[in-house]
Every structure is written in structure tokens, then in C-alpha cells.
């Protein structure tokens, strides 16, 4: 994806604001990879009913109490693999004068967004569901869900403000660590 003005946070607010355009008088120099470009993304999902209990392959003829213990389990997962957005390097504490100043201000020719990217996303969300029949037409479900089940850190982008003390450093994460929740439902 290529453009000359990726809007991510109001970066073309000409009146009373700031802009990330290098030279508003020469938009041709702004042509680059878009801030929204994500060249690789794979999402895989799946669900599997474990083959235990009534009416499954193993334990299909067990009594009601054993079936309530070993049957009715399902596992599911949601795997996301994605590359990150391109990085944009900016100058810390400096503004150019749109080429009208008599000083040493000179516009560069680097693209607005570089073909360098921050860390991608690799996360697995998983769930374990236990379901059992209670009465005719009624059932109960116990659900254990985990977002980022493998507790894999998803690092944030490095600092791209040239001249800043943390330039090029990754100092945080994009998401929180593993999050687990347990829920109970009764269908009647």
C-alpha cells in the first residue's frame, strides 16, 4: 500500500496544528509506503470436540455420572501472526521553515515512512469448554478462556524521534500479558 499522506493522528491539519509532511510545498516527496501497510497477516482458527463421553467415540456407553465427568469437552484456538506497520522517523525538537528561511534549513528526500517495521504480532487465544446435560432440553457450560494464552510479549515499536535519548529503543509492549477468565452459563 503506497500513498502520499497517511492519516494516522491528524497529520495533515494545516491550520493551527502540526503536520508530519516534510515539505507541504512538494507533496511528491511524500510518496512512500502507507502508514496502514501490513504486508503479512495470517489468522487461523479451529475448534475440536474431544472424543470422550456420550455420544462420542470413547466412553459413549458410560453412565450419566461418568459422562458428566469425562464428556462434553471442546477446545478452540485463535492464532494471529502479523507484521507491523512501517516506521516513521521524525526529528526531536526541530521544525523547518517551509523553505522560506534564510538559514540552513534544508528539506530531506527520505520517504515519509521507511520500509523498516516494528515487532510483529504473534498471539494465541485459546478456550476450553465443558458442557453437560442437566435435564431434558437444558444444559450447563463452564468456559475457560485465555487471551495471549502463551503469554508471548508483543513489543511496541522503537522510539523513532531522532535526537531523543531513547531513539531506536523499545521500551514497552503493545498489549497486556495473558488474561484468563472463567464463566458459567445455564441454558434452559
182: left (phi over 0), alpha (psi -120 to 50) or beta: beta
Three-state SS at 131 = strand
Residue 92's pLDDT is 64
pLDDT digits (tens, 9 = 90+) for 124-183: 999 999 998 888 889 999 999 999 999 999 899 999 888 889 999 999 988 878 999 999
Torsion sign across C-alpha atoms 168, 112, 17, 157: negative
3-class state of residue 65 by DSSP: helix
Comparing 156 with 15, the larger pLDDT belongs to 156
pLDDT tens for residues 99-137? Answer: 455 557 677 777 888 888 989 999 999 999 999 888 888
Residue 48 in this model has a pLDDT that exceeds 80: yes
Torsion of CA 88, 91, 97, 102, to 10 degrees: -130
Of 28, 115, 124, 126, residue with least CA distance to 75: 126
State the Cα angle at 123 between 122 and 127, rounded to 5°. Answer: 160
Q: For 70-92, b where at least 16 C-beta lie within 10 A, e where not — what string?
A: ebbbeeeebbbebebbbbbbeee
Identify the band that residue 97 occupies on the pLDDT scale cut at 50, 70 and 90: low
Query: Confidence band (pLDDT; 50, 70, 90) for 186?
Result: very high
What global pTM score does this model have?
A: 0.70
Amino acid at each position: 500500500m503506497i500513498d502520499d499522506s497517511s492519516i494516522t493522528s491528524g497529520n495533515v491539519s494545516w491550520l493551527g496544528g502540526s503536520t508530519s509532511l516534510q515539505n507541504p510545498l512538494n507533496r511528491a516527496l511524500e510518496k512512500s509506503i502507507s502508514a496502514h501497510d501490513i504486508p503479512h497477516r495470517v489468522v487461523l482458527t479451529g475448534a475440536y470436540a474431544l472424543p470422550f463421553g456420550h455420544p462420542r467415540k470413547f466412553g459413549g456407553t458410560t453412565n450419566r455420572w461418568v459422562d458428566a465427568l469425562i464428556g462434553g469437552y471442546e477446545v478452540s484456538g485463535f492464532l494471529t501472526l502479523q507484521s507491523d506497520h512501517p516506521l516513521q522517523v521524525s526529528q526531536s525538537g526541530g521544525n523547518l521553515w517551509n523553505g522560506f528561511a534564510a538559514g540552513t534549513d534544508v528539506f530531506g528526500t527520505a520517504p515519509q515512512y521507511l520500509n523498516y517495521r516494528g515487532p510483529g504480532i504473534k498471539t494465541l487465544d485459546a478456550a476450553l469448554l465443558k458442557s453437560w446435560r442437566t435435564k431434558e432440553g437444558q444444559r450447563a457450560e463452564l468456559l475457560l478462556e485465555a487471551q495471549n494464552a502463551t503469554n508471548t510479549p508483543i513489543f511496541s515499536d522503537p522510539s523513532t524521534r531522532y535526537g531523543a535519548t531513547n531513539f531506536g529503543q523499545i521500551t514497552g509492549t503493545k498489549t497486556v500479558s495473558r488474561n484468563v477468565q472463567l464463566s458459567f452459563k445455564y441454558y434452559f
